[in-house]
Structure 1
C-alpha cells in the first residue's frame, strides 16, 4: 500500500514539478523555454519521465513505454531545425532531476521506513534510465540530422562495404563479456556509478572497461561506441 500511495503522490505532484522545471530553465536562459512549441515538446518528455519514475516506484522496477525511442530520435533531429544545441537537453535532464527532489522525498516518505532507501534508489535508477534513453536517442537523431547526405551520383563500392562489415564484426568479437555487459548498461542509460553497483565493481573499473571497449571499437564517445556495438538496434 505504501508504494502505491507514494506513486500516486509523485503523479499528483507532476504539475508542481513541471512548473519548477520551467522556472529553473528560465533562470538559466535555456532556449527550451524560449518558444511555446519547443517548451511543449520539452514538457511532454519531462511529464513522461516523471510518470515512468512513479510507475517504477509502484512496480519496483523501470519499464520503458513503446515508442519512446522513436519519438526521442525524431525530436533530436528536430532540435537541429530549431537551432537548439544538443547540450541543452543534457543540461535539462539534470535540471529536471533537481526539480523532482522535493516531490520524490515526500513520495518516498509514504513508504515503510525500512524500505525508503530502496524506494529512493528505484526512483533514481528509473530516472537515469528514462532520461538516459531519451538523451541517447535524441543525440543520435541530432547527429544524423547534421550529417551531410552522400551525393546520389556516387555509386557504392560493394567490395569496400563487405570489407568494412567484416572488420566491424572482427572488432566486436574482441570485446569481452564484461565490456559488452557494460555497454548494454550504458545503452540503458545507467551512469558509471549505477553500472558499478549493478556489477559490484568500482567506478574506476567501469571506466577502464569502457576505455578498452572504446579503443577496440575505434570510438571516441559513448554515442559512437553504442552505434558501433549495436548497429541498427536504436
Structure 2
C-alpha cells in the first residue's frame, strides 16, 4: 500500500479520534471539553493537528499552515479570560496523542512490514512538532496576558553640578546597572525565543522546525546569545537566563 493510503486512513479516522479525545477530556474533568466555547477551539486545533500529521505522512514534510502561531498565541491569551490554566492545554496534547494511537497503528499497518515502524515514528515526530509549536505560542500568549503592566518609569534625575572640591556628586541612590541584567536586555526577541526553546530541551533541529529556520541560523542565534551573555554552553545559558525562575 502507498503512503497516500496510510494518510487517507488518518484523515478518515479524524471523527473517531476527536470523539475519543473529548470523551477522555470529559472523564478527566477538563474545562476544555466541558465548556462549549473552549471545546470548539480545542476541537479546531485537534482537527488541524491530525490533518498536518496526515499531510506529513503523504508528502514527507509537515503542512505549512498560515497563521497557526498567531492563532495559538491569541488562544493562549484568551485562556486567561476563560480562567483555564495553561496546564490544561499541555495535558490535552497528551490526551490527543493517546486518542490517535489506534488510527496511527492502523495507518502504519497499511504499509509494507519493513516500513511500519518508520511510519509510526514519523507520525509521532510530526505530532510532537506541530503540537509543540502550538503549545509554545499558546504559553507565550498566556504569559503575556498575565504579565503585570510595567510601572511608569520615574523621571530622570539631573546630576548635581561639579564643585570646586571634587567630582560631581551622585544623583539619587541608584547604582550602576547589573551587568547580567544588561546582557539579558541586549538579547534580541529571536535569541530569547531560541533560548526558551533550549530550556524546553529541544535540539537545534527541533528548534529549526519550530521557527521554520535552518539549523545554521539556530546555531548563529545561539552563538550570538552566548557571546552577549559571556557563556559557551546550553547549561550555562539556562542557568544565566532562567536560573532565578526555576
TM-score (norm 2): 0.69
Q: Match of 2:239, SS?
A: helix
Deviation at 1:64, TM superposition (A): 3.7
Paired with 1:106 and 1:15, the residues of 2 have a C-alpha distance of 15
Paired with 2:69 and 2:10, the residues of 1 have a C-alpha distance of 24
Aligned to 2:88: 88
Greater relative contact order (Cα < 8 A, sep 6+):
1
Paired with 2:237 and 2:117, the residues of 1 have a C-alpha distance of 33
Paired with 2:184 and 2:127, the residues of 1 have a C-alpha distance of 38
Q: Which has the higher helix share?
A: 1
Paired with 1:26 and 1:166, the residues of 2 have a C-alpha distance of 43
Aligned to 2:103: 103
Aligned to 1:213: 237
Report whether the alignment pairs 1:140 with 2:140: yes
After TM superposition, the structure 1 = structure 2 runs for residues 115-154 of structure 1, keeping only pairs within 5 Å, are: 115-151=115-151, 153-154=152-153
Aligned residues: 194
Change (3 A) 1:120 1:22: same
After TM superposition, the structure 1 = structure 2 runs for residues 1-234 of structure 1, keeping only pairs within 5 Å, are: 2-151=2-151, 153-154=152-153, 164=182, 168-169=186-187, 182=203, 185-186=206-207, 188=209, 210-216=234-240, 218-220=241-243
Bigger radius of gyration, 1 or 2? Answer: 2
Change (3 A) 1:156 1:101: farther
Q: Is there any run of 5+ residues in structure 2 with no aligned partner, and where?
A: 157-175, 211-232
Deviation at 1:67, TM superposition (A): 0.6
Q: Is there any run of 5+ residues in structure 1 with no aligned partner, and where?
A: 190-208, 226-234
Q: Is the contact made by 2:14 and 2:47 (CA closer than 8 Å) also made in structure 1?
A: yes
Change (3 A) 1:86 1:166: closer
TM-score (norm 1): 0.73
